[in-house]
Amino acid sequence: PTEQTRAQIHRQCVGHLLSTHSQSIPVAEALPLLPADMSFSHDMFVYLRSQLCTLDQDMRTKNVVRGLAAAEDLQARRQLSYLQSNSVVVSETRVCPDCLKRIGSGTAFVIVPSKRAKGHVVVHYSCWQRGQSVARATNGREASDVSTVSIEKISAGSDVESPAMPRVEIKWA
């Protein structure tokens, strides 16, 4: 066979190899290696179509992942905004609903969700602890039903904030 016939056979083999092994040969590496006078055969069409479909699928997958991440970020920001917008003010006039005593400076207290009133209730830690032991003994509300913000000894003029519960503003006179 002549040199021209041999080159034509090689080009056909290259096209066949590219179309057969299109998933393992990246288009960015294959195209620069092809001769400039290579004809656009059916095998080349199959190879390029396969590569374009793969690139398109990768792009769509990345867009879906990016969209899901953005939606998750937005949901987290909304939840954070909602939680930060709620606040509980503890002042010197605040009274514990269980024992009806004043919640003063240096008092340990907890903030629990209220089932009766909308929002949260500030209760002495000892009152909350007694309520927990009574509830467990009588199979009433369980400890998992009450979520505490913090069980801390509060000093005058401090602020306590938790991302899962409302902001606490303490105002002592």
pLDDT of residue 85: 72
pLDDT of residue 172: 52
pLDDT of residue 171: 55
φ and ψ at 170, to 5 degrees? -110, 125
Mean pLDDT to the nearest integer, 60-80: 95
Mean pLDDT to the nearest integer, 65-87: 88
Numbers of helices and strands, H then E, in the chain: 4, 5
Mean pLDDT to the nearest integer, 57-72: 96
pLDDT at 57 over 90: yes
What's the pLDDT tens digit per position in 100-126? 998 877 888 888 877 776 677 888 989
| Nearest alpha-carbon partner for 55 in 17, 31, 26, 14 | 26
